[in-house]
Amino acid sequence: MITIAYILLSLGAVLIFIASVGILRMPDLYMRASAVTKASVLGVGLMLVGAIFYFQSFGVGMRALAILFFVVATGPVGAHMIARAAYVSGEKLWSKTTHDDLKEKYDNDTHELSSNKHDDEENTL
């Protein structure tokens, strides 16, 4: 069991390191947020599961699972909100970005996002 814990803790540390490299290597805020969120949530998750195997205690296991739940539930949502706030405030996309999905669907004046489905329903009524 201790070997499994060491493997999980090591993999988690490697993924967190990859997340930190992503901060430095990615060209814009949106890619940085994506890379960091994915790698860090998985890295923290592996480290928490490794802690469960290492300590083999019900109390530690329940706390680790609760922390894991909150990290998985809040990490991607927080990254999404940061990226949305950046988009609304006018943060530029990377110069080599070929397509902006929100460009035609986001109204900067009202801060409303329209979807094709919603627009099609309005046109048929």
Tens-place pLDDT, residues 70-100:
999 999 999 989 988 888 887 888 888 888 7
Is the predicted pLDDT of residue 125 greater than 90, yes or no? no
- The strand pairing partners of 106, in sequence order, are 113
Q: Determine the Cα–Cα distance for residues 27 and 93; give it in Å rounded to an integer.
A: 9
CA separation, residue 68 to residues 32, 42, 45, 46 (Å): 22, 10, 6, 9
Tens digits of per-residue pLDDT, 13-47? 999 998 899 889 998 888 888 888 988 899 999 99
* Residue the block writes with tokens 């009524």: 125
Domain that holds residue 10: 2-124
CA torsion sign for 79, 81, 84, 88 is: negative
Task: Tell me, rounded to whole angstroms, the distance of Cα 93 from its chain centroid.
Answer: 18
Give 108 or 80, the one with higher predicted confidence: 80
Is the predicted pLDDT of residue 123 greater than 60, yes or no? no
Q: How many domains does the chain have?
A: 1
Task: Please give the pLDDT value at position 86.
Answer: 87
Task: Please give the pLDDT value at position 43.
Answer: 94
Is the predicted pLDDT of residue 118 greater than 70, yes or no? no
CA torsion sign for 14, 62, 78, 101 is: positive
Task: Please give the pLDDT value at position 83.
Answer: 87
Q: Determine the Cα–Cα distance for residues 49 and 94; give it in Å rounded to an integer.
A: 36
